Amino acid sequence: MRFSRNKTSEPEINLIPFIDVLLVVLIFLMLSTTYSKITELELNLPSANTSPIRDKITALNISITADGKYFVQGVGIDTSDNETLIRRLKEASQGLLNPIVVISADARATHQSVIQALQAAQQSGLQQITFAAQTETGQKANTK
């Protein structure tokens, strides 16, 4: 007895459904991108003849070294006493209109020394406080 095997033909890949799906996706993308221009809001803002008044932004810098020494506007403070720091901040902020306190602490500075600088700024009546950080490119950046 002779058993013969049926020769199976190679399966064919039908590309027509694949092309249909791609065309539907393409049509969807084309329709959705045209709506983005419709949703844009066009505003014509009024103009003024006066020049804008800009307050001079003044920064009051507090630097904290790794060993906990404070520098206000580049001038060192001999002791780490909180009262001395408050007095120095009040002296440095005299005559400045709404100064921004920028705290620049060394990465190895203790958390307590940064908190002490925050408390001193608050007790000396300074409201706007920000921290200076260094970006990955090495430039100095302020964070609020």
Residue 54: inside a domain, yes or no? no
Q: Could you tell me if residue 45 is inside a domain?
A: no
Q: What pLDDT, in 10s, does the model give residues 102-113?
A: 888 888 888 888
* Count of structural domains within the chain: 1
Question: Which pLDDT does position 63 carry in this prediction?
Answer: 87
State how far Cα 17 lies from the chain centre: 47
pTM over 0.85: no
Q: What is the span of the domain harbouring residue 112? A: 59-143
Tell me the mean pLDDT per 10 residues along the chain, length 144: 70 88 92 62 59 64 86 81 86 84 86 89 88 65 52
126 domain-assigned: yes
In a domain, 19, yes or no: no
**Given this model, what pLDDT does residue 66 score?**
83
Residue 2 lies in a domain: no
We report the CATH number of the domain holding residue 96 as: 3.30.420.270
Tell whether 24 is covered by a domain.
no
Q: Amino acid letter at 138?
A: G
Order of all β-strands in the sheet with 140-143? 75-76, 70-72, 59-64, 100-105, 128-134, 140-143
Cα separation, 66 vs 106, in Å, equals 5
Q: Is residue 127 part of a domain?
A: yes
Residue 39 lies in a domain: no
